[in-house]
Amino acid sequence: MLRSVAVLVLDELAVFEFGVLCEVFGLDRTDDGVPLLDFRVCGLRAGEPVTTTGHVQVVPERGLEGLQGADLVAVPATGLRAFPEEALQALRDASAAGATLLTVCSGVFVLGAAGLLDGRRCTVHWKSVDELRARHPEAIIDPDVLFVDDGNLVTSAGTAAGIDAALHLVRRELGSAVVNVIARRMVVPPQRDGGQRQYVEQPIPQCSADALAPTLEWVLENLHVEHSVADLARRARMSDRSFARRFVAETGTTPHRWLTLQRVLLAQRLLEDTDLAVDDVAERSGFGTGALLRHHFRKVVGVAPADYRRTFQATPCPEPAAASA
């Protein structure tokens, strides 16, 4: 049962991520039937201001002793990568005492520095995945999800994914009725579909070989037609085997995977910028059928084309109202 929540704030605190924790766990919603939690904002010392990325300061009411006995200890994002040892020890003590640990975005680096990620499943914002792997190679990082629930360790990806993780914890500890009330008040879905893979800008494999570049440029202009390795090799004036070997050496991937990625990238642009039906998007991007597009799109992006469009389709700004004469 979740009764008490302690939030550890450190310098270079990200105010949005901190605000998410205050919004989900810190507000009094007893009028709506939500249990009131013992909510503590804790710093190194009570009353000592913490700097933030938002050009304001946060003054914690409690010191590190506030972490003691908390059911949940949450660490919001921070720009720091070196942390006070006394804060790290307080986190170790809280974990050893049975607290569940929750991080929002880069808050996971604090737990990593405390040695609490080794052998544990976790996640972080997609831009920080490589850094987290380099700093904490023993952590088991899933880069494609909004959050990871590993029992007494819950980590979330960037920024708004903290809402997903926090609401998940409320559901897990207090039930669906409570989380639905909080989500409704926050005007957010109780649970989002998909993962953070859909928000990642897909890299386009580069090619430096003069012999391949003209062929690949032609393919990009003609993604809607069929392309076999034999056809591409012939256009590049190579044997099939030489072309395939050269292609992997120059791009780091196979011709088939490269072509599939380019078609998915084109489909993303069409879903964002046009109102074409999914079958028409499939035809223009070279997948031929909506079923084939859905298969490859979900495999690369992590969600269905229709769900991606709902999230990312550009909405034209309304025309300004004409001034009355």
Answer whether residue 203 is part of any domain: no
Residue 203: pLDDT over 60: no
Residues 177 and 236 placed together within one structural domain of the fold: no
Answer whether residue 250 is part of any domain: yes
Q: Which residues, other chains included, contact 232 with Cβ-Cβ below 8 Å and sequence gap of 6+?
A: 215, 219, 243, 255
Among the ranges given (55-64, 126-135, 181-190, 278-287), the one the predictor scored with the smallest mean pLDDT:
181-190
Q: Give 188's pLDDT tier (boundaries 50, 70, 90).
A: confident
Q: Give 190's pLDDT tier (boundaries 50, 70, 90).
A: low
Residues 291 and 149 placed together within one structural domain of the fold: no
Domain boundary among 167, 197, 227: 197
The pTM assigned to this predicted structure is 0.66
Residue the block writes with tokens 């991520």: 17
Residues 187 and 274 placed together within one structural domain of the fold: no
Domain boundary among 173, 197, 221: 197
Residue numbers of the domain that contains 8? 4-197
Average pLDDT over residues 105-114: 98
CA neighbours within 13 Å on the CB side: how many for 153? 23
**Quick count: other Cβ atoms within 10 Å of Cβ 11?**
18
Residues 217 and 193 placed together within one structural domain of the fold: no
Nearest one of 132, 122, 179 to 156, comparing CA atoms: 122
Residue 208: pLDDT over 80: no
* CA–CA separation, 94 and 111 (whole Å): 11
Answer whether residue 128 is part of any domain: yes
Residues 162 and 48 placed together within one structural domain of the fold: yes
Residues 266/242, Cβ–Cβ less than 8 Å? no
| Domain at 169, CATH number | 3.40.50.880
**Separation of first and last alpha carbons in the chain:** 64
Residue the block writes with tokens 């034209």: 316
Query: Tokens in use for 324?
Result: 């009355």
Residue the block writes with tokens 């605190």: 13
What percent of the chain is predicted at pLDDT more than 70?
Answer: 89
Residues 173 and 56 placed together within one structural domain of the fold: yes
Residues 59 and 186 placed together within one structural domain of the fold: yes
* CA–CA separation, 35 and 27 (whole Å): 10
Answer whether residue 193 is part of any domain: yes
Answer whether residue 109 is part of any domain: yes
Residues 190 and 217 placed together within one structural domain of the fold: no
Domain count, the chain: 2
Q: Give 88's pLDDT tier (boundaries 50, 70, 90).
A: very high
How confident is the model at residue 193, as a pLDDT?
A: 55
Residues 173 and 281 placed together within one structural domain of the fold: no
Reported for 214-221, long-range contacts at CB under 8 A and 24+ positions apart, including other chains, are 216/258, 219/259, 219/262, 220/262
Q: Give 210's pLDDT tier (boundaries 50, 70, 90).
A: low
Residues 254 and 189 placed together within one structural domain of the fold: no
Domain boundary among 171, 197, 223: 197
* CA–CA separation, 79 and 12 (whole Å): 5
pLDDT digits (tens, 9 = 90+) for 267-305: 988 988 889 999 999 999 999 999 999 999 988 888 899
Residues 259 and 114 placed together within one structural domain of the fold: no
Answer whether residue 320 is part of any domain: no
pLDDT digits (tens, 9 = 90+) for 219-266: 888 999 889 999 999 988 899 999 988 888 777 788 898 899 889 888
| Domain at 251, CATH number | 1.10.10.60
Residues 238 and 263 placed together within one structural domain of the fold: yes
Answer whether residue 317 is part of any domain: no
How confident is the model at residue 314, as a pLDDT?
A: 57
Residue 86: pLDDT over 80: yes
Average pLDDT over residues 173-191: 80
Residue the block writes with tokens 């050893």: 96
Query: Tokens in use for 274?
Result: 């046009």
CA distances from 140 to 117, 122, 147, 199 (A): 8, 6, 13, 21
Pick from 103-107, 170-174, 269-273, 304-308 the range whose average pLDDT is largest: 103-107
How confident is the model at residue 248, as a pLDDT?
A: 84
Answer whether residue 123 is part of any domain: yes
- Maximum CA pair distance of the chain? 74
Helix axes 305-312, 255-273, angle to 10 degrees: 50
